[in-house]
Amino acid sequence: MNRYLQYITRQYWFRVVLTVLVCTVTVRFGILQSYTWFGVCICLLILCILWQIRLYRTHVKQVLFMIDALENNDNSFHFPEEYGTPESRQINQALNRVGHILYNVKAETAQQEKYYELILDFVSTGLLVLNDNGAVYQKNKEALRLLGLNIFTHIRQLSKVDATLMEKMENCRPGDKLQVMFHNERGTVNLSIRVSEINVHKEHLRILALNDINIELDEKEIDSWIRLTRVLTHEIMNSVTPITSLSDTLLSMVKDKDEEISHGLQTISTTGKGLLSFVESYRKFTRIPTPEPSLFYLKAFIERMVELTRHQNPCNHITFHTEVIPADLILHADENLISQVVINLLKNAVQAIGNQPGGRIAIQAHCNDAEEVLIEIKNNGPAIPPEIAEHIFIPFFTTKERGSGIGLSISRQIMRLSGGSLTLIPDDKETKFILKFK
């Protein structure tokens, strides 16, 4: 590049010196009143000036042409280096080289941007970059997944997801820490939002970090229920066991002496034993064994679960549909524990359909884009009302007359211990549960 610069500089200096000499000679002939030579020199001076102007305009046009091409991402421009004056060839070589350097820099920048985008797409935290007008400057796949959107270009699009979510994201300021709960096709989403800011090219941008804290909240809730259940069962067992023991002893002593006392003691004993049996069922919630995962084929597993459900529940009027994609899909989990979850969900589905004609239960298994195994169990029975759906995973909550209220709680606890999750997907037409294995 220095060689080109030196050559071009010498050429310009040559023209400048030549123009100055012609100008000096012209002035000299003008002073001597040699009008013939004065006229000749004037013509030469005009030619020199036009020569300089033409050269300047040519080079300016070439530079502007190169800049326009680069701005329009046109990298096909090329100035001829094989013909023309020596200085024009040198200029063209220099411009071609500059264009090539700028193209390489631009290509490297674009490649680096794609590299950073790829890294962002692998981050487990959703990231959004918004300008002050609400336009989405940047986002990653996790953010789209959490929000349940395929295309996201403006904050106003969140009105289709949840009005409260849109309002909070629109009005959040740097340093804010927000928590928003909303519902989409994935179920209930609890978002933790952290806001920061950055200025890029004199434009103020907000960076929003999104995290789904459902798992953390569920774990805290389950742990709290487990601790409470352990305390209650311990206190009840310690209080009721002596009562049943003493009532049995007293019953054996007065069995044939006083019928009324015997009947009362029998009632106490029966009630106490029933209470002990009741408490023992709740202790299962706190005594789930540690999973022992192994590999097994889901197709055979699901077919076996359907057969067990058919034998255990009267459901001849219900059609079962199973689908596993691919057919040889394998799951790494504790088969015995997962069978408890699936059997419980299928039993609930049968009970939800009841005697409804045209009952249908579908079990589908597949992998999502994150290579997580999903098992979907859905039925066309009556939809679960929203006010009940919020509480179905809470231990001891039940809408059945003889239900214990721990079936779904135990199922979710098993999925949590297995490193997965159990989710109810809200729908007005059907009831769908999703087991997700990470």
Phi and psi dihedrals of 356, rounded to 5?
-60, 125
If we measure between CA atoms, which residue out of 347, 294, 338 comes closest to residue 320? 347
Lowest mean pLDDT among 93-107, 131-145, 337-351: 93-107
Q: Which two tokens stand for residue 201?
A: 């090219």
pLDDT at 310 over 60: yes
Q: Say yes or no to pLDDT of 333 above 70.
A: yes
Q: Which amino acid is at 403?
A: G
The residue among 245, 277, 247 whose CA lies nearest residue 263 is 247
Which pLDDT score, from 0 to 100, does residue 170 have? 86
Residue 366 pLDDT > 90, yes or no? yes
The string over 85-114, giving b where at least 16 C-beta atoms fall within 10 Å of a residue's C-beta and e elsewhere, is eebbebbbbbbbeebeeeeeeeeeeeeeee
pLDDT higher than 90, residue 324: yes
pTM for this entry: 0.55
Residue 297: what pLDDT?
A: 95
Instruction: Report yes or no: 213 and 190 within 8 Å, Cβ to Cβ.
Output: yes
For helices 407-417 and 214-254, what crossing angle results, to 10°?
130
Contacts of 378 (CB under 8 A, 6+ apart): 349, 361, 362, 430, 431, 432, 433
Hey, what are 123's tokens?
Answer: 């981050």
pLDDT tens-digit profile of 55-95?
Answer: 777 777 777 777 787 777 777 777 777 776 666 777 777 77
